[in-house]
């Protein structure tokens, strides 16, 4: 009891620094302490109750936080939803994975890490890629976007030939902007990077995986899984917590994972070796759209720009 009230008064002192309201309350409780013994006891009892309740609440919050962290391994949000990141880059030491492959000076990673930018591709540009998700009604031109319908005819984007034509311009432009961003960030030459396969569109919802191929949530290393990758990029087309739940991207670092919350137009990119072990959380509801755009330094593994069929 004595201990709690001592704690209470030191907390009171600390709080008094914080704001005048609490300092007034502290002054009152101090006044009570100097009043009659009965009043003083009552004041100490209140303070003790208050501090005990605060301690219990803090312990509860800590336990809830730590059990959540232990459960999903998430400790830090690298790119949160609603944020607009210009250039976020975190350097990590390169793994030795690149040594097992032919080196291409000026391209093969010497500097490794992960970056996120919401300034390379606009949300509007992602509309076009979403239209590839076979949710575009080519007859009416209606594209379902979250809870809204956008009429593509009004934008002059409504016919198949127009879409193909647009892709030949836009797909290539988007790819080159992302490529440029990666090159600038890692201090390499953009012309020494080649698009490689698989470069693909992913549409994930909460239905059961039919084949192991559909099991997108396993931790993996792109260079190990896909071989030719040196730089991986992801262009997100829908919003975490708005269009789908779960589905965050997680870098699995020893002791503290880092998450990226997808949002339309967000580009995340990273060196593809085991310095960037990662996974995607299972999607709990809604549909998550993304494009994986991958680059290699080996011209023999390069492919042309994807074309729209």
Task: At 287, list the tokens.
Answer: 């549909």
C-beta of residue 231 within 8 angstroms of C-beta of residue 294: yes
* DSSP letters spanning 33-60: HTS-HHHHHHHHHHHHHHHHHHHHHHHH
C-beta of residue 268 within 8 angstroms of C-beta of residue 79: yes
154 is catalytic: no
CB of 103 to ligand AKG, least distance (A): 23
C-beta of residue 120 within 8 angstroms of C-beta of residue 267: yes
d(CA 232, CA 222): 8
CB of 209 to ligand AKG, least distance (A): 14
Q: Return the closest-CA partner of residue 104 out of 189, 224, 227.
A: 189
User: Based on CB atoms, which residue is closest to ligand AKG, 98 or 249?
Assistant: 249
CB of 2 to Fe ion, least distance (A): 58
Query: Residue 234 binds what, of Fe ion, ligand AKG, none (CB under 5 to 8 Å, by partner type)?
Result: ligand AKG
Task: At 203, list the tokens.
Answer: 């549409």
CB of 221 to Fe ion, least distance (A): 8
Gyration radius (Cα) of the chain, Å: 27
Write the CA distances from 159 to 86, 152, 154, 155, 202, integer angstroms. 34, 9, 11, 11, 23
User: Based on CB atoms, which residue is closest to ligand AKG, 5 or 95?
Assistant: 95
Q: Which of 44, 114, 266, 288 is catalytic?
A: 288
String of contacts with Fe ion for each residue 199-238, x by CB under 5 A: -----------------------x----------------
Q: How many residues does the chain have?
A: 309
Query: Residue 97 binds what, of ligand AKG, Fe ion, none (CB under 5 to 8 Å, by partner type)?
Result: none
CB of 266 to ligand AKG, least distance (A): 10
3-state secondary structure of 191: helix
3-state secondary structure of 196: strand
* Per-residue DSSP letter, 282: P
User: Based on CB atoms, which residue is closest to ligand AKG, 152 or 239?
Assistant: 239
Query: Residue 130 binds what, of Fe ion, ligand AKG, none (CB under 5 to 8 Å, by partner type)?
Result: none
User: Based on CB atoms, which residue is closest to ligand AKG, 5 or 244?
Assistant: 244
Query: Residue 280 binds what, of ligand AKG, Fe ion, none (CB under 5 to 8 Å, by partner type)?
Result: ligand AKG
Query: Residue 249 binds what, of ligand AKG, Fe ion, none (CB under 5 to 8 Å, by partner type)?
Result: ligand AKG
Residues found near ligand AKG in the complex (CB under 6 A): 202, 222, 234, 249, 278, 280, 290, 292
User: Based on CB atoms, which residue is closest to Fe ion, 43 or 109?
Assistant: 109
User: Which residues form the catalytic set?
Assistant: 288
């Amino acid at each position: 009891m004595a201990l709690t009230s001592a704690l209470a008064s030191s907390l009171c002192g600390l709080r008094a620094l914080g704001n005048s309201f609490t300092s007034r309350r502290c002054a009152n409780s101090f006044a009570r302490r100097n009043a009659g013994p009965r009043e003083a006891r009552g004041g100490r009892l209140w303070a003790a109750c208050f501090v005990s309740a605060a301690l219990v609440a803090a312990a509860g919050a800590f336990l809830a936080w730590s059990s959540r962290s232990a459960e999903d391994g998430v400790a830090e949000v690298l790119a949160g939803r609603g944020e607009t990141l210009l250039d976020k880059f975190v350097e990590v030491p390169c793994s030795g994975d690149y040594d097992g492959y032919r080196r291409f000076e000026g391209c093969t990673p010497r500097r490794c890490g992960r970056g996120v930018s919401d300034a390379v591709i606009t949300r509007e540009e992602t509309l076009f890629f979403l239209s590839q998700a076979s949710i575009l009604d080519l007859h009416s031109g209606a594209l379902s976007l979250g809870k809204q319908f956008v009429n593509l005819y009004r934008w002059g984007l409504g016919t198949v030939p127009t879409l193909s034509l647009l892709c030949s311009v836009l797909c290539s432009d988007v790819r080159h902007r992302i490529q440029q961003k990666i090159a600038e960030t890692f201090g390499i030459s953009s012309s020494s990077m080649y698009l490689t396969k698989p470069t693909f569109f992913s549409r994930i919802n909460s239905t059961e995986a039919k084949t192991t191929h559909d099991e997108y949530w396993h931790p993996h290393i792109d260079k190990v899984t896909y071989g030719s990758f040196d730089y991986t990029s992801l262009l997100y087309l829908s919003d975490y917590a708005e269009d789908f739940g779960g589905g965050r991207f997680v870098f699995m670092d020893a002791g503290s994972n880092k998450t990226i919350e997808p949002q339309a137009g967000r580009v995340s990119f990273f060196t593809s070796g085991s310095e960037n072990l990662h996974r995607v959380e299972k999607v709990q509801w809604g549909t998550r759209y993304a494009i994986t755009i991958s680059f290699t330094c080996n011209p023999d593994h390069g492919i042309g720009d994807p074309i729209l069929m």
